[in-house]
Amino acid sequence: MASVNHIEALLEKYFEADTSIAEEKVLQDYFNSDEVAPHLEQYASMFQFFKISGEERSTRAIPLKPGRKVYLLKWISVAAVAALLVGIFINQPSQTDSLQANYTQEELESAQMALAIFSENFNKGTQGMSYLKEFEKNTNKFLK
């Protein structure tokens, strides 16, 4: 058992907050024993109180399950949205590709030539249509 002098010295340090955990344990044990010196008795309830306070337990059961599922679902939806965005992003550039990127200069020129020939012949065709107008005039005369 620690001597009274030792306890007094420790108490002095204790109130200046200079004691180590081990020294505080000595005080704690001393004041929770049955051999407290009469002139130190006033401190006993302090250390007894600390000891008893430390024995209290939390008794409520804590439901852990709910939080988990919500958490997973949240990340699944985030992943789905991300996948969608990536899909749209990947598809977009192919639509905006210019002709120059997909065909060589030669191919383009031959296509242009083909279109020019086509439109020239088409115009010839429409010129030929003007004879038909004359024909229409005469048939109308006949029908009246």
Using CB under 8 A, pick the residue from 1, 5, 64, 88 that binds other proteins: 64
65 contributes a contact to other proteins by CB under 8 A:
yes
Would you give the end-to-end CA distance of the chain in angstroms?
143
Question: What is the smallest separation between the CB atom of 1 and other proteins, expressed in angstroms?
Answer: 20
Q: How many helices (H) and strands (E) would you count in the chain?
A: 6, 0
Which of these segments, 45-53, 78-86, 108-116, 127-135, binds other proteins (CB under 8 A)?
A: 45-53
Cα separation of 10 and 49, whole Å? 18
Question: What is the smallest separation between the CB atom of 86 and other proteins, expressed in angstroms?
Answer: 24
Helix 41-53 to helix 21-31 angle (10° resolution) is: 110
76 contributes a contact to other proteins by CB under 8 A:
no
Cα separation of 5 and 37, whole Å? 10
**Which residues make up the interface to other proteins (CB under 8 A)?**
14-18, 21, 24-25, 41-46, 48-50, 52-60, 62, 64-65, 67-68, 71
